[in-house]
Amino acid sequence: MEDALTSDRSESLSSSSSWCFSSAGFRNTRDSKGVLVLPMMHSVVRLLWAATCFSWSSAIYNCQHDDRAGPALRYLLQPPQQVITSQRGANATLPCMLRVRPKNYRVKWTRLEPDPERRGVEHIILITNGAQHRGYDEALAPRASLRAAHSLDASLRITGLTLDDGGRYRCELVNGLEDESVTVTLELVGVVFPYQNSNGRYQFTYQEARQACEGQDGKLATYQQLYKAWTEGLDWCNAGWIEDGTVHYPIIDSREPCGGKLLPPGIRSYGARDKGKERFDAFCFTSAVKGQVFFIKGRMSFQEAGASCKAQGSEVARVGQLYAAWRFSWLDRCDGGWLEDGSVRFPITAARPLCGGLSHPGVRSLGFPDKELRVYGVYCYRPT
C-alpha cells in the first residue's frame, strides 16, 4: 500500500514488548481473522506475563459481533445474501422478504451502531405498514425507500452511497408479541491507507484521527476493512486508530522492529486505548470517487500547485482521492505530486525499478517537503 521512500516506517514496539513474545517460550498461533492468539498457560504465569506486557493486552483482540442464531423465523425469510457489496456513489438494495403478511404489522429498518461503547443503539431509517412508509434518519431517509417489487417485499433501497453508509442493518417485523428480525451487512469496496500528518508519527487522539481521515476524503477504517487490506498486502509498522477506538497495525513481513521475527504475520493489536489522551496514527478507508484525479507536470511550489489546479477547474487532490484513483481507475504515474495536506506522493499500479524501487504496487510517499520547494508537479481532483 503506502510506502515511504525514506525511512518512514519507524519502530512501533518497544524492546520490552518484543521480549514478551520472543522470550516467553510459548508458541503463538493466528486465528481466522489474522489476530494473534496466545495459548493456554498457568494462571500465575498469565498474571506475570500480563503485568510485563502492558502494551499487548489486546493481542487476543477479536472483532465482537453477535452472530448467534436467533429464534426460528415465522414471518420473515432469511436474506438470500447477508452481505451486500457496493461502492461509494452507487446504489444498493438490502433484502428483506416476508414469508407471510400478518393482519397488523409494521416493518422497521434500522442501522446498528458500530461503536462498541454504544452497542445496542439503533438509528431508525424508516417504518412501513405495508401501504406507506415514513423516514426518520436525517442522513439516510432522503436516500432510502422500499423496493416493493411485490406484496411480500420489504427490501430497503439506498441511493448515492456514502462512506458512512457501510455497516449492519436490521429489518424488523413488529407484530405484537411475535416480533422478529434479520440482519444484513452493507460492505463498501474501497482501500485502507495509513495516515500521518506533517508532524510525524503518533500525533492523533481518536477524535483527531477521525477528523484527519475525513479531511482526506476518508473515514476511520473498521477492523474488517483493515483485515481485508492486510490480506491484500498492507504492511505498516506504526500503530493506528480504527473506527471502534481500538489500535492495531498490519504486518506481512515479520521483522524485529515490528513485534519480532518469531511472530507470524497478522494484525498486531494494542486493543482499546484512551481516546482522549493516547496518540497514534490513523488507518483511513475510502471508496470510489465521483470525479477525476489527474496530474499536472511541472516544477511548482505548493501554492503554485493550487493555482494550477484551479486554472483547470479543479482543486488539489486529497490523499484519499489519490488512493481511490489508484485503486479504481488504475492511475499509474511515476511523478511525485503535491496533495492537499502538503505531502508529495505518486501512484504505481505496475511496479518498476525506477519508480520507487519497490516490487509491489502502491501509493509511494515522499513525505512533507518544504512547501516553497519547486521540484514536483501536482495531482488535481475535478468532481463530476
pLDDT in tens, 123-142: 999 998 877 788 888 889 99
Amino acid 58: pLDDT: 33
Side-chain half-sphere exposure of 29, counting CA atoms within 13 A: 4
Helices then strands, each counted (H, E), the chain: 6, 24
Q: pLDDT digit string (tens) for 88-105? A: 999 999 999 999 888 889
The pLDDT value given to residue 40: 37
pTM exceeds cut of 0.85: no
Instruction: Report d(CA 362, CA 365) in Å as an integer.
Output: 9
Give the mean pLDDT of the chain: 84
pLDDT of residue 62: 42
Half-sphere CA count of 54, side-chain side, radius 13 A: 2
Q: How confident is the model at residue 180 (pLDDT cuts 50, 70, 90)?
A: very high
Q: Is 60 exceeded by the pLDDT of residue 237?
A: yes
Q: Write out pLDDT tens, residues 131-172.
A: 778 888 888 999 999 999 999 999 999 999 999 999 999 999
Pairing of the two strands 240-241 and 246-251: antiparallel
pLDDT reading at 34 higher than 80: no
Q: Lowest-pLDDT range, 7-21, 63-77, 111-125, 189-203?
A: 7-21
Look at residue 48 and tell me whether its pLDDT is greater than 50.
Answer: no
Domains of the chain: 3-63+189-286 (3.10.100.10), 88-188 (2.60.40.10), 289-383 (3.10.100.10)
Q: Choose among 23, 22, 32, 24: nearest CA to 266.
A: 32
β-strands 3-4, 362-365 pairing:
parallel
Between 33-42, 251-260, 263-272, 346-355, the lowest mean confidence (pLDDT) is in 33-42
- For residue 122, pLDDT over 90 is answered with no
Tens digits of residue pLDDT in 6-23: 333 333 333 333 323 332
Grid cell in block for residue 107: 416493518
Whole-number pLDDT of residue 282? 98
For residue 59, pLDDT beyond 60: no
- And the C-alpha cell for 355? 519508480
Cα 47 to Cα 40: distance, rounded to the nearest angstrom? 12
What's the confidence (pLDDT) of residue 149?
A: 93
Mean pLDDT of 20-36: 39
Residue 202: CB atoms within 10 Å: 15
50 vs 206, which has greater pLDDT? 206
Give the whole-angstrom CA distance, residue 157 versus residue 17: 48
CA separation for the pair 100, 90 (Å, rounded): 31
Residue whose C-alpha cell reads 444498493 in the numeric block: 92
- If pLDDT is split at 50, 70 and 90, which confidence band does 49 have? very low
Q: What percent of the chain has pLDDT over 70?
A: 80
Q: What is the mean pLDDT of residues 281-294?
A: 97
Comparing 251 with 51, which gets the higher pLDDT? 251
Q: Tell me the average pLDDT across 38-49.
A: 36
Give residue 27's pLDDT band: very low, low, confident or very high (50, 70, 90).
very low
Mean local confidence (pLDDT), 249-267 = 93
Q: Strand 281-287 vs strand 240-241: parallel, antiparallel, or unpaired?
A: parallel
pLDDT for 36 beyond 80: no
pLDDT at 175 over 70: yes
Please report the pLDDT score of residue 71 as a whole number.
66
**pLDDT at 33 exceeding the cut of 70:** no
Q: Look up cell 483527531; give the residue.
A: 208
**What SS3 class is residue 224?**
helix
List, in order, residues 6 or more apart from 256 with CB less than 8 Å away: 18
Q: Which tops the pLDDT comparison, 16 or 307?
A: 307
